[in-house]
Structure formats: C-alpha cells, structure tokens
A and B are shown apart, each in its own frame.
Chain A
Amino acid sequence: MSTLQVELVAADRKVWEGEAEMVQARTIDGELGILPGHTPLLGVLVEGEVRIKTGGSTAVATVDGGFLSVDRDKVIIVAEAVDASQIPA
C-alpha cells in the first residue's frame, strides 16, 4: 500500500515532514480521515487535534485553525500556530 507524504507547516517554520498511513483532522464540516488515494481536497480546519498515523503509532499535533490540502497522496496541513511538542522529531 502506498503511503501519504505529510507536511505540517506553521507560519514561521516547517514543523514536521514525513510519511504516514492515515491523517485525521477536524474541518468545519466535521471529522475527516484521509487515506492514500484520496481525491484532491482543500478543507478549512477548525481548532483542534490532527492525528497522523505512522506504522503502529499515532502522532498528535494541535493546530489553531488553518487549512489542509490533499493532492496526489501529498497532505499539507497549514496553520498559523502548530503545537507539535508530542511528535518525536
């Protein structure tokens, strides 16, 4: 199975970059899960947690709104402030 290329970008730096099997985030419309092969999507995020599943573990980052774009298995999560203190570098 292919994987997702995930980028977590804050206003002043790129917070995290890596591969993942699944990304979960909360948009205005509700919870959203993204697996490889998802159609291109631009969604507006609300304040909350973004879960990035890699292998058996799940990394959790907190964003303060922002947006998410999916394009050919590349997921970019953009927010003004990202708290990724729980993600191992």
Chain B
Amino acid sequence: MGAQMRVYRQRIRSVQATKKITRAMELIAASRVVKAQQRVRESSPYARALTRAVSAVATFSNVDHPLTTESEEVRRAAVLVVTSDRGLAGAYSSSVLKESERLIGELKADGKEVTPFLVGRKAVAFYKFRKREYADEWTGFTDQPTFEVAREIGETLVAAFNRDHSEGGVDEVHIVFTRFVNMVSQEPDVIRMLPLEVVEGEEAPAEDDVLPLYEFEPSAEQVLDALLPKYVTARIYNCLLQAAASELASRQKAMKSATDNAEELIKKYTRLANQARQAEITQEISEIVGGASALADAS
C-alpha cells in the first residue's frame, strides 16, 4: 500500500472515531434537554404561587422592604454570571461571558464597582486565566441544577445586598444567563434581580381575576419578610433551569454540526484515498508495460 493511501486511511479512521463520540454526545444532550425543559415546566407552579402571593402583599399593604427599596446611591453592583461546567456546547458560554463583559463595562462607565459571582467552571476558568478577582463561585451542577444550589446562591446574594457598603455589600444585583426561547434559539439575557421589581409571570392574570383582600398571618411585614427571599431564590432557580436547558440545546446543536462535518470529512478522504489507490494502480500498470516493452526490445 502506498504511503499516501495509508495516511488517508488513518485520517478516515480517526475522523470516524470522533464522529462516534460527537454522535453519542448529541444523543445524550437530546435526551437530557427534554428532561431539562420538563424541569422548567415543573418549577412553574411554585413560581406562580409565590409571584401571586408577593404581588398580593405588595398591592394591599404599603410595606417598604429593604429588598425592594432602591438605594439612593449605587456604588457597587453584583453580577451573577451563569455559564456551563463543560465545553463542546458551541458559543454557549462565550456568548454569556461576552454579554457579562458588556454589562460590567456599562456598570463601570456609570462609576459603579463590580463584584462578580460565578456559576459554572467556564466562567471560573475565564476569570482565573485573566487573574481577575471574583466574590464567589458555584460549579459542578450546571446541566442539572438543584433547588438547594439556587437557595445557596440566593442566600449569598441577599446577604451581600443586605450588607453595608463599607463591609463589601452591594447595592444592585444583576444576573446574566441564557434564556431558553425554544430548541433552536437561546439568547443571553440580563435581568436586574435586586432591588426587586415584582413582575407577574408570563401569564398575566385575567381581567376578572382580582386579587382578594387577604388577611395576613401574622402580619403583612412578616409575610413579606418570609416571602421575598423565597421569591429571589425561585427566580434564580428558574434562571438556572433555563440556562441548563439552553446549555443542553446548544450542545446538541454543536454536536450535530460536528457529526455532519465529520461525515463530510470522511467522504472527502474516502475520495482522496480512492484516487490515490487508482493512481498507484495506473502507475504499476505503466511500470509493468514499460518493463515488458523494455524486455521485448532487448531480446
């Protein structure tokens, strides 16, 4: 076998192995993304009940809560960046990081200090490589976030928000995550988490669905006190779940195109290998013919 042909055969084998891997990753992501979407849906009754309760308290009492009050002077802002733990998901992590860089640039231009909080190994690697400071990190769960993690993040952020500026507290909290629009499109998005603006979920209440005059037990202040941190946690949990679904969807997409590219490469190398084989045969024949006619001429 000619040297040229051996090289092509080797390439084909290696691309075939890669294709098997990317195909497997594509299938795994495809099955997980369905579960991730289901988790987003399953968390919505909780979020809806909480949102409704919070807006009921907000509507019927004029309670000012520290978590809803705008700080007069915003000197420091926290940014929670939600990326993935693993790569091979196309531009998923890098587009979130790009969005966060833009946001941080804007905040700095407004004269605010920025304290980053990171979710996912990719964000941590990004900050470590650039030797930048960050406040806290959470890793190791991004394709399957649990509510406990969301609660931990929520508690940390609320604590940072409640701390005084001189002790490293922040006056604003932003979240950069990837919104899951549908299977083909996921968009990096920024929301301002704190101070809270209570927003009704996607489904606005119907016209005749007036919030009743609630009694509060023990009191409106205490109910709000108990509800708001939960509300923050539920929003963060929702962000994490959407980010997980987006991560898996973009991994599926990236791996699909990797598999397609591998197929394309295999086809190309097979053609080249065939060509090389054919060239070798032609050469052999002409050598034999040449040799035979040389012998004939000699005798």
Q: Bound state CA distance, A43 and B226, in angstroms?
A: 10
Q: Which residues of A contact B196 (CB under 8 A)?
A: none
Q: Which residues of A contact B218 (CB under 8 A)?
A: 27-29, 43-44
Structural contact, B46 and A42, CB atoms closer than 8 A: no
Q: Which of A32, A67, A81 has the most CB of B within 10 A?
A: A67
Structural contact, A27 and B234, CB atoms closer than 8 A: no
Q: Bound state CA distance, A10 and B96, in angstroms?
A: 30
Q: Bound state CA distance, A70 and B53, in angstroms?
A: 10
Query: Contacts A67-B223, A78-B50 hold; do A42 and B216 have CB atoms under 8 A apart?
Result: yes
Structural contact, A10 and B46, CB atoms closer than 8 A: yes
- Distance of B267 from chain A, by nearest CB (Å): 46
Structural contact, A28 and B217, CB atoms closer than 8 A: yes
- Give how many A residues have a beta carbon under 8 Å from the other chain's beta carbons: 27
Q: B72 in the interface, Cβ–Cβ < 8 Å? A: no
Contact pattern, A 1-45, Cβ under 8 Å of B = 1, otherwise 0: 000000101111110000000000001110010000001111110
Q: A76 in the interface, Cβ–Cβ < 8 Å? A: yes
Q: B185 in the interface, Cβ–Cβ < 8 Å? A: no
Q: Which residues of B contact A13 (CB under 8 A)?
A: 42-43, 45
Q: Which residues of B contact A83 (CB under 8 A)?
A: none
Q: Secondary structure at chain A's binding surface: helix, strand, loop or mixed?
A: strand
Q: B175 in the interface, Cβ–Cβ < 8 Å? A: no
Q: Bound state CA distance, A43 and B214, in angstroms?
A: 10
Structural contact, A40 and B212, CB atoms closer than 8 A: yes
Structural contact, B151 and A44, CB atoms closer than 8 A: no
- Distance of A28 from chain B, by nearest CB (Å): 5
Q: Which residues of B contact A69 (CB under 8 A)?
A: 49, 52-53, 56, 214
Q: B215 in the interface, Cβ–Cβ < 8 Å? A: yes
Q: Residues on B close to A: CB < 8 A?
A: 39, 42-43, 45-46, 49-50, 52-53, 56-57, 147, 151, 212-218, 222-223, 226-227, 230, 233-234, 237
Q: Mind listing 7 A-B residue pairs with CB under 8 Å?
A: A11-B46, A42-B53, A44-B218, A44-B222, A67-B226, A67-B230, A78-B46
